[in-house]
């Protein structure tokens, strides 16, 4: 025979379990509940962010998306910001090629292929045996910069090419070294990204750092 106090204990346990499940679901979706950053980047000169004030404004805009994506995927915000800066030349739109990539395709990360909005063909420098050569390649196009950020995170967390990098997501420097092995043919790519991280102290945007 079940005593009344035992029944109450069981009911309380069920209530606690239900509350814990609800809280877990809320925490899992907290990144999606944040206000979406503006899809309009700060106003810059055609040469991109040239002054320190322009660079600070661009980094702030990029960091809002990068932090959101890190909360969802674990990709270090510092690396996302630095890659966007390197790939777009600080959001440079001065030349036809830059305008096509940044303004028409809204591609912030130089990702090749066909995207949600199709693709654009752009000349690009590749490396073989450390020697550069130029080809024309298709680059993914997006309907918004938000799509570009989301696709970047998706690529780095779902492609088998970057599976080895996932274990270093709390160590941005090791992470970009692993990513760069398949992300770019430029042998200096990882160090170029990391130099931007260091110069502008971008690890301050990361939720976790080496040793945490």
The pLDDT score that the predictor gives to residue 21 is: 43
User: Is residue 174 packed enough to be buried (19+ CB in 10 Å), middle (13-18) or exposed (0-12)?
Assistant: middle
Least confident of 32-41, 44-53, 110-119, 141-150: 32-41
Q: Where are the domains of the chain?
A: 1-33, 38-205
Question: Residue 178 corresponds to which tokens in the numbers above?
Answer: 């692993």
Class of domain 38-205: mainly alpha
Per-residue pLDDT averaged across 8-17, rounded?
50
Share of the chain above pLDDT 90, in %: 77
User: Is residue 15 packed enough to be buried (19+ CB in 10 Å), middle (13-18) or exposed (0-12)?
Assistant: exposed
Question: What is the number of residues in the chain?
Answer: 212
Q: Whole-model pTM?
A: 0.82
Whole-angstrom distance, CA of residue 127 vs CA of residue 181: 12
Question: Is 78:197 a contact under the CB 8 Å cutoff?
Answer: yes
The pLDDT score that the predictor gives to residue 212 is: 43
Q: Model confidence at 36, in pLDDT bands (50, 70, 90)?
A: confident
Per-residue pLDDT averaged across 152-159, rounded?
98
By annotation, the residues acting in catalysis are 126, 151
Q: pLDDT of 76-102, one tens digit each?
A: 999 999 999 999 999 999 999 999 999
């Amino acid at each position: 025979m079940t005593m009344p106090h035992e029944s109450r204990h069981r009911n309380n346990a069920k209530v606690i379990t239900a509350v814990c499940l609800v809280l877990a679901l809320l925490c899992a979706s907290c990144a999606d509940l944040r206000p979406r950053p503006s899809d309009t980047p700060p106003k810059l000169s055609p040469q991109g962010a040239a002054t320190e004030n322009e660079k600070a404004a661009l980094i702030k805009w990029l960091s809002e998306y990068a932090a959101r994506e890190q909360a969802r995927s674990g990709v270090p915000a510092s690396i996302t910001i630095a890659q966007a800066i390197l790939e777009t030349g600080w959001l440079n739109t001065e030349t036809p090629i830059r305008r096509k990539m940044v303004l028409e395709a809204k591609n912030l990360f130089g990702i090749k292929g066909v995207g949600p909005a199709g693709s654009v063909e752009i000349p690009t420098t590749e490396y073989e045996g450390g020697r550069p050569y130029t080809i024309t390649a298709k680059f993914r196009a997006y309907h918004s910069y938000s799509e570009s950020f989301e696709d970047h995170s998706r690529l780095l967390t779902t492609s088998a090419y970057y599976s080895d990098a996932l274990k270093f997501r709390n160590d941005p420097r090791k992470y970009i070294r692993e990513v760069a092995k398949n992300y770019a043919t430029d042998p200096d790519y990882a160090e170029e990204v990391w130099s931007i991280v260091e110069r502008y102290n971008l690890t301050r945007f990361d939720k976790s750092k080496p040793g945490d």
